[in-house]
Amino acid sequence: AAGEQRGQLQREAAEYYQRLRVPERLETALNTLFLERPRDLYGELANYLCEFSKAPIICRIVGRRVFDGVFQPTLEVEIYCTVRNYEKRICSIVIASHSQIPENALPETIEADEKERNDSVCAAVEWVNEPLKKMLRGLKPIDQCQADKILGEYFADRLEEEQRIQKQKEEEEAAAKAALAPSPPPTPRPRRRPGLKMMSVELLPPAEPAESVLCGSLAIGGTSLAIAKAGATIRRVPLYLHIAQLKHHQKSLQEIMLPLPMVTVLNCEKKLPTKLKLVKEVIFIPPVELSLKQGIERILDIQKEMIKLLESAGKQPGSQADSKRGRTQNSGKKAAPNLTRISRLGSLSIGYDNLEQLLLLMETAFDNIGLELGKDMYLAINCAAHELVDYEKGKYEIVTGTFKSPDEMVPMYVEMIDNYPFIIALIDPLRKEDREQWKNIYCALGSKCYLFAEDAATHISKLTIDQNINIAMCSGVVLKYINQTKVSDLIELTGILEGQSYITILGSPDGESLDESLVDLAVGLGARFLKLGGLSRGERVAKYNRLLAIEEELAANGTLR
């Protein structure tokens, strides 16, 4: 009986292994390896058999509250997969946080924004650790489209539920007010005195309300990017190549073009006491004939010379630095701007009283090291026009006490570019609501410099309407990977932008972390520019290092265009 049982097991085992082609594959492997005689026989045998193992599937997703580069809370997402019957940690990402609050916001507004951000991160951790973990369990990380479909459907359900709750709440509040409040008396019309003229202020169109962010939406973007990174890890390819192949439907790419870096060298914060308000960021763009490494090294040389000039100006008699040391002498020279600190963007934080004063520093630094603006380096200016508006006056405040209407801004920019042709890009020169003026400035300057929309662009989810770009007339858009943005969204959107001749810039949000995935996204999506901030602060430098590493890798394997 025992012999019959053993015989039955042997027959079942033989059928089982034959059905899975184990003897055939082992024989092929052993014959091949005998001829090759590798130093690590079992290692090579394991590599061969791995090709026939089942594809890894997601078994666990972990959400965690962490801090970004400015110690604001944000979300980390970890992916665990079942790989050859064992659970294995594949990767993690930290999604950058982004605030829509302007620099000059009131303290109570900033406090409310911080509370909202903290609540959103806590909600995102719950989303990842509960519903999303269950919904995505068993999914292959290489199936990005299916993962993003699940994430998108879950977000749509949560948004619909939130809107229903909000609508019910508003109806209840309206009913309670109607029951308590008496009808107001009619408002008398104001009577104008004879002989007096009524003063009129041309009102700007009201600002569009800020895009409402669903509490917890960080979980969608964070999980989507984490799955993309897991897919790249499992395929044993860099994330940028995995993204590029997703965009081009798994086609093999012969060449990859790297984005040009837009490096912020000066951050002229609007809250500084100096007068110039028009400029928020001064950005360097290296010429295309330089490699990325050469371009960044050149920017470093220029920045060092600028710091020397600022430090020497600060030591002059009558400067702000001497005033702080108690000196009262004044030589009659104009006080130099005070070098205060490194901003959260990783650049020098400094203010000026006018544009000419700022550009004089640039030109002097270039002359001192034998370079020429407009040939050896180009400038871009981020105007952040939405932070300049005085709605009571209906105008933009470009310098303290100097106001211009939207129509007056157009000739001002034309004159600026005519006087300083080395400025090749303006970011947010106007609010997104001033579409007619965007059209006018594009017609006047579109052939001379780039006009990019960053905060002037609508949210990614509303940028496309029926495959058309919903934005004012401009050269291109600065995209940011935040909140519920998914990898598939960016792939689709960049394809539409390219098809309609818009330039894609991938931008770094305000609250960055050491996560380098943004650089791989930009390279894989084929972005023309990459706006990462300055060359200081670890979270910024890590991304520049990643960009340089990709350049080196592509050059080594002959696929750098």
> Which residues are known catalytic residues?
483
CA distance 356 to 352: 9
Q: Look at the block and give the residue holding tokens 């970004």.
A: 68
* Helix (H), strand (E), coil (C) string for 281-319: EEEEECCCCCCHHHHHHHHHHHHHHHHHHHHHHHCCCCC
Q: Residue 127 forms beta bridges with which residues?
A: none
Distance from the Cα of residue 328 to its chain's centroid = 46
Question: What torsion do the CA atoms of 515, 518, 524, 526 make, to the nearest 10 degrees?
Answer: -160
Q: How many CB atoms are closer than 10 A to CB 123?
A: 18
CA distance 496 to 465: 11
CA distance 125 to 357: 48
Residue 362's H or E segment, with its range, is helix 355-368
Q: Quick one: DSSP state of residue 460?
A: G
CA distance 481 to 543: 15
How many H helices and E strands in the chain?
16, 18
Contacts of residue 359, Cβ cutoff 8 Å, sequence gap at least 6:
420
